[in-house]
Amino acid sequence: MKIEHASRHASIRSQQRGIPQLIIDWLITYGAVANDGRGAVTHYFDRNARRRLSQVVGGRVVALLGSLMDAYLVLSHDGTIMTVGHRFKAIHRG
Protein backbone atom coordinates (compact mmCIF):
# COMPACT_ATOMS: atom_id res chain seq x y z
CA MET A 1 0.00 0.00 0.00
CA LYS A 2 1.32 3.40 -0.96
CA ILE A 3 1.34 5.97 1.81
CA GLU A 4 0.04 9.22 0.34
CA HIS A 5 0.19 11.52 3.34
CA ALA A 6 -0.80 12.01 6.93
CA SER A 7 -4.09 13.65 7.81
CA ARG A 8 -4.01 16.93 9.70
CA HIS A 9 -5.30 15.02 12.73
CA ALA A 10 -2.43 12.51 12.50
CA SER A 11 0.16 15.29 12.17
CA ILE A 12 -1.19 17.07 15.23
CA ARG A 13 -1.44 13.85 17.26
CA SER A 14 2.11 12.73 16.41
CA GLN A 15 3.42 16.09 17.59
CA GLN A 16 1.27 16.13 20.76
CA ARG A 17 2.18 12.56 21.63
CA GLY A 18 5.89 12.88 20.85
CA ILE A 19 5.98 10.23 18.12
CA PRO A 20 8.75 11.12 15.64
CA GLN A 21 8.60 10.50 11.90
CA LEU A 22 11.26 7.79 12.23
CA ILE A 23 8.93 5.69 14.41
CA ILE A 24 6.07 6.25 11.94
CA ASP A 25 8.30 5.07 9.08
CA TRP A 26 9.36 2.00 11.07
CA LEU A 27 5.75 1.19 11.95
CA ILE A 28 4.81 1.21 8.27
CA THR A 29 7.86 -0.80 7.22
CA TYR A 30 8.32 -3.30 10.08
CA GLY A 31 5.14 -3.14 12.16
CA ALA A 32 2.58 -5.89 12.61
CA VAL A 33 -0.76 -5.24 10.89
CA ALA A 34 -4.29 -5.71 12.20
CA ASN A 35 -7.44 -4.99 10.17
CA ASP A 36 -10.09 -2.98 11.99
CA GLY A 37 -12.98 -4.52 10.05
CA ARG A 38 -13.97 -1.20 8.48
CA GLY A 39 -11.29 -0.87 5.80
CA ALA A 40 -8.47 0.62 7.86
CA VAL A 41 -5.42 -1.16 9.23
CA THR A 42 -3.48 -0.62 12.45
CA HIS A 43 0.32 -0.91 12.42
CA TYR A 44 2.05 -1.61 15.74
CA PHE A 45 5.17 -3.22 17.17
CA ASP A 46 4.67 -6.73 18.48
CA ARG A 47 7.45 -9.11 19.46
CA ASN A 48 8.09 -10.22 15.85
CA ALA A 49 8.06 -6.64 14.54
CA ARG A 50 10.61 -5.61 17.17
CA ARG A 51 12.75 -8.58 16.20
CA ARG A 52 12.63 -7.61 12.49
CA LEU A 53 13.50 -4.02 13.37
CA SER A 54 16.36 -5.14 15.63
CA GLN A 55 17.89 -7.13 12.79
CA VAL A 56 18.03 -3.97 10.67
CA VAL A 57 18.90 -1.19 13.12
CA GLY A 58 20.37 -3.20 15.97
CA GLY A 59 19.04 -4.33 19.31
CA ARG A 60 20.68 -1.45 21.16
CA VAL A 61 18.78 1.14 19.11
CA VAL A 62 15.47 -0.63 19.73
CA ALA A 63 16.27 -0.88 23.45
CA LEU A 64 17.14 2.82 23.68
CA LEU A 65 13.91 3.77 21.93
CA GLY A 66 11.89 1.29 23.98
CA SER A 67 9.47 3.90 25.25
CA LEU A 68 8.45 4.63 21.66
CA MET A 69 7.91 0.98 20.78
CA ASP A 70 4.36 1.14 22.17
CA ALA A 71 3.31 3.43 19.29
CA TYR A 72 0.68 2.57 16.70
CA LEU A 73 -0.79 4.19 13.63
CA VAL A 74 -3.98 3.73 11.66
CA LEU A 75 -3.97 3.78 7.85
CA SER A 76 -7.10 4.29 5.81
CA HIS A 77 -7.87 2.18 2.75
CA ASP A 78 -6.38 4.88 0.49
CA GLY A 79 -3.03 4.98 2.33
CA THR A 80 -3.63 8.09 4.45
CA ILE A 81 -2.30 7.99 8.00
CA MET A 82 -5.43 8.73 10.02
CA THR A 83 -4.00 8.86 13.54
CA VAL A 84 -1.05 7.85 15.68
CA GLY A 85 -0.80 7.13 19.38
CA HIS A 86 0.57 5.04 22.20
CA ARG A 87 -0.94 1.65 23.00
CA PHE A 88 -2.25 1.15 26.50
CA LYS A 89 -3.91 -2.18 25.79
CA ALA A 90 -3.54 -5.06 23.37
CA ILE A 91 -4.58 -4.69 19.73
CA HIS A 92 -6.91 -7.46 18.73
CA ARG A 93 -6.30 -8.84 15.28
CA GLY A 94 -9.53 -8.79 13.30
Q: What is the pTM of this model?
A: 0.84
DSSP 3-state of 44: strand
What is the per-residue pLDDT across 63-86, written as a single tens digit (0 to 9) for each? Answer: 898 888 999 999 998 889 999 999
Say how far apart CA 40 and CA 57 lie, in whole Å.
28
Predicted pLDDT at 90: 63
Has residue 3 got a pLDDT over 60?
Answer: no
Determine phi and psi for 59, rounding to 5 degrees: -65, -35
Please state the domain extents for the chain: 8-86
Please give the biggest Cα pair distance in the chain.
Answer: 37
- Rounded to the nearest integer, the mean pLDDT of the chain is 87
